[in-house]
Amino acid sequence: MTDQITQVVIVGGGSAGWLAAGVIAASSPARVQVTLVESPDINPIGVGEGTWPTMCATLQTMGISETEFFRECDASFKQGSKFSRWTSLSKEDDYYHPFTAPAKYHDINLAPFWMPFRDKIPFANAVCPQSAICDLGYAPKQISTAEFGAVLNYGYHLDAGKFSPFLHKHCVEKLGVKYVRANVTAINSHENGDIKSVTTDSQGEVSGELFIDCTGLSSLLLGKHYAIPVVLQKNTLFNDSALAVQIPYTDGADAIASHTLSTAQSSGWIWDIGLQSRRGIGHVFSSSYTTDELAERELRNYITPAVGKKMAEELSVRKISFNPGHRQTFWHKNCVAIGLSAGFIEPLEATALVLIEVSAKMIAEQFPANRTAMDIVAKRFNRTLSHHWQQIIDFLKVHYVLTKRTDTEYWRDNCLASTIPDSLKELLELWKTQSPWRYDEVLKEEMFPSASYQYIYYGMKGAVSADIDSKIEGNVKRLQEKKLRKAESLFMENAQHIQQLKKLLLPNRELIEKIKKHGLQTI
């Protein structure tokens, strides 16, 4: 067949380019040759330092050793997120979104059984041991747990500046990815509008049958060349700016948090990510509601307790601007965008890297054999990605819309009906009378499990209609004594499980040091 797809050209390095290269080279058919063209003059944006547990499978797919990953990428464990002061201004206001689903999630929905106790114990604490383990700063596995094996589900925190070179080396040395270090100066087309090749300044022409746009916010192929428009989402999710800073630990042995700490501010929120050698902290906010100066003030105030007044004022802060939104389509002709070139909403819930993984996996596993098949795969890809983006938007908006904060216009406006997508309005209405569960998962492979909705919804004390308690009582009777008994025993087991885990697990830093020293076993 003449139109067989064998040459994949990825334009752009960074996390998106190298993850796409690795996943496609490792799991697409053997005939496929992946070439990555990277500009020597453009630095990757270097943010995106939190992952979902999907990253374990992604690294495994590429044949990466988890031990090497810890040694090379300044990585640490991430067991979920803790949200502070998102619901109210109270200092005690916080809740967890752990990566481990509620106990026996697929057999029983514990939410209705927890509701009668909702004033006594937070949802996450009642149904899963992970928030207690995060509070202790413990790691999610033991030194004797095999690579990528987990006692509690985990993803990672990583240094994006180290992650790309690490993937680069692996892709080139182990997966046969061809590397072209040059600037793209022109994009050349076939008559049918497909991209034929890219011309580079120093390495000639690079041709291929499938082009992957990983050029970041500049979106060189899909955005500039094909002029695919961006669907802006700023009306729903207001953030469009971030100020990032890195702070050192006061001494080398400081505890490393094993969750992302996310603290709401007056017109945005601050992320706090603990790596082995430093913390990455950033304030993401909306320029429509506050100024850079005020946002920087809040950021510097946030780091002052950790580094002291002097250093807090002196550390240099990096500004990143973005337009929250995504392309109208993601795969156009023989070009598909992965990463920021496809879109970006905001860093909340670390959706950027997981979307890269999902996209790359979909391309690799449904790799089109020929040009005709490509159109069909592209159609599917666009349909699925549109669904994912809509889900991301709804899921992120849930974090804002459930707030009870009214202290600033930012929080008040976030609750205006005009800013809430219809799809989410429906969900919010439904969840007043029945809890999010498996039926909230439409696709087989959703970006977020419905358990995540439970954690956020109940973590933020989402509304349950006035008569819900009597309804629940009625429900409980109808739901059979058996189920109630099972739920009660699961709550008990959870409490016991926490006690056992306390004995088995080590502080995050201690385990990471052990991994670096002894390595994790492969079985």
Q: x/- binding map, residues 376-405, to another protein, per CB under 8 A?
A: ------------------------------
Which tokens is 202 given?
């120093």
Least distance in angstroms from the C-beta of 510 to another protein: 11
The nearer residue to another protein, 91 or 503, going by C-beta atoms, is 503
Closest CA to 399 of 338, 334, 455, 450: 455
On the 0-12 / 13-18 / 19+ scale of CB atoms within 10 A, 203 is middle
Part in contact with another protein (CB under 8 A); list of ranges 46-54, 139-147, 210-218, 279-287: 139-147
Query: In sequence order, which residues have a C-beta less than 8 Å from that of residue 477 and are 6 or more positions away?
Result: none
The nearer residue to another protein, 1 or 523, going by C-beta atoms, is 523
DSSP per residue, 57-89: HHHHHTT--HHHHHHHS--EEE-EEEEESSS-S
Residue from 144, 192, 418, 470 that binds another protein (CB under 8 A)?
Answer: 144
Beta strand 318-321 with 241-248: parallel, antiparallel or unpaired?
A: antiparallel
The nearer residue to another protein, 248 or 519, going by C-beta atoms, is 519
437: left (phi over 0), alpha (psi -120 to 50) or beta: beta
Q: How far apart are CA 32 and CA 23, in angstroms?
A: 12
Residue from 1, 30, 417, 523 that binds another protein (CB under 8 A)?
Answer: 523
Question: Residues touching another protein: how many (CB under 8 A)?
Answer: 12
Residue from 145, 183, 408, 434 that binds another protein (CB under 8 A)?
Answer: 145
Q: x/- binding map, residues 32-51, to another protein, per CB under 8 A?
A: --------------------
Least distance in angstroms from the C-beta of 393 to another protein: 42
Least distance in angstroms from the C-beta of 138 to another protein: 16
Least distance in angstroms from the C-beta of 69 to another protein: 16
Least distance in angstroms from the C-beta of 500 to another protein: 14
The nearer residue to another protein, 499 or 521, going by C-beta atoms, is 521
258-279: string of b/e by CB count within 10 Å (b at 16+)?
bbbbbbbbbbbbbbbbbbbeeb
353-374: string of b/e by CB count within 10 Å (b at 16+)?
bbbbbbbbbbbbeebbeebeeb
**∠ CA 371-373-376, rounded to 5°:** 120
Least distance in angstroms from the C-beta of 106 to another protein: 24
On the 0-12 / 13-18 / 19+ scale of CB atoms within 10 A, 498 is middle
Residues 236-265 that bind another protein (CB under 8 A): none
Query: In sequence order, which residues have a C-beta less than 8 Å from that of residue 505 and are 6 or more positions away?
Result: 133, 138, 139, 140, 141, 142, 151, 511
The nearer residue to another protein, 379 or 518, going by C-beta atoms, is 518
Residue from 35, 61, 88, 142 that binds another protein (CB under 8 A)?
Answer: 142
Instruction: Identify residue 289 by its one-letter amino acid code.
Output: Y
The nearer residue to another protein, 466 or 523, going by C-beta atoms, is 523
Which tokens is 304 given?
């002052």
The nearer residue to another protein, 423 or 522, going by C-beta atoms, is 522
The helix/strand/coil state of 200 is: strand
The helix/strand/coil state of 295 is: helix
Tokens 């690579």, located at residue:
147
Least distance in angstroms from the C-beta of 514 to another protein: 7
The helix/strand/coil state of 215 is: coil
On the 0-12 / 13-18 / 19+ scale of CB atoms within 10 A, 135 is middle
Part in contact with another protein (CB under 8 A); list of ranges 33-41, 138-146, 336-344, 381-389: 138-146
Least distance in angstroms from the C-beta of 65 to another protein: 12
Q: x/- binding map, residues 289-328, to another protein, per CB under 8 A?
A: ----------------------------------------
Least distance in angstroms from the C-beta of 311 to another protein: 36
Task: State the number of CA atoms in the 13 A half-sphere of 93 facing the CB.
Answer: 17
Instruction: Identify residue 10 by its one-letter amino acid code.
Output: I
The nearer residue to another protein, 309 or 518, going by C-beta atoms, is 518
Is position 143 an interface residue for another protein (rule: CB under 8 A)?
A: yes
Least distance in angstroms from the C-beta of 152 to another protein: 17
Is position 149 an interface residue for another protein (rule: CB under 8 A)?
A: no
Give residue 366's Cα distance to chain centre. 23
Part in contact with another protein (CB under 8 A); list of ranges 143-151, 155-163, 272-280, 426-434: 143-151
List beta partners, residue 179: 36
Q: How far apart are CA 45 and CA 240, in angstroms?
A: 15
The nearer residue to another protein, 71 or 514, going by C-beta atoms, is 514
Least distance in angstroms from the C-beta of 145 to another protein: 8
Residues 487-516 that bind another protein (CB under 8 A): 514
Part in contact with another protein (CB under 8 A); list of ranges 56-64, 83-91, 142-150, 382-390: 142-150
Is position 520 an interface residue for another protein (rule: CB under 8 A)?
A: yes
The nearer residue to another protein, 142 or 419, going by C-beta atoms, is 142
The helix/strand/coil state of 197 is: strand
**Site residues for another protein per CB under 8 A:** 142-145, 514, 517-523
